[in-house]
Amino acid sequence: MFTSLWLFNKSITNMMTITFAALILVEILNIYTLVNRFNWPMRIASFSTVSLFLFSEFKFESWLGISEMTDFRITKVVFITLAAWLPAHMLKIFSIYINPPKRKRLLSEQPEFTS
């Protein structure tokens, strides 16, 4: 949230729509971070969520106070999304590397058979 306050000095409505877009993307990325196996219903749900969100942003841009979809706005959404999601994702990868699951440990510690 502090990043969004630092990036936006113009309009509170613009800040709210961009941080909400980043929140939607962060939540989808959090789901992908936690799930180990993806199935078709999950992919369809994620695709429909993003599609519905983008449709609502384009359809209701005057109601939401979005003047236009500019590259600068998209860059801000991506920057806030990465700033919110990437540290937690990297921490998860690092913790798996330091303390792997039992299945990975057992597979890596298999004795070699010699004949």
Tens digit of each residue's pLDDT (9 = 90 or more) over 55-97: 887 777 766 666 566 677 778 888 888 999 999 889 988 988 8
Which pLDDT does position 22 carry in this prediction?
86
For residue 66, give its domain range.
2-108
* Residue 39: CA count within 13 A, CB half-sphere: 1
Q: Give the integer Cα–Cα distance in Å for 115 and 96.
A: 34
Question: 16 lies in a domain?
Answer: yes
Question: 34 lies in a domain?
Answer: yes
Question: 82 lies in a domain?
Answer: yes
Looking at the structure of the chain, the number of domains it has is 1
Tell me the pTM: 0.70
Q: Give the integer Cα–Cα distance in Å for 26 and 88.
A: 11
Question: 46 lies in a domain?
Answer: yes
Question: 114 lies in a domain?
Answer: no
Question: 44 lies in a domain?
Answer: yes
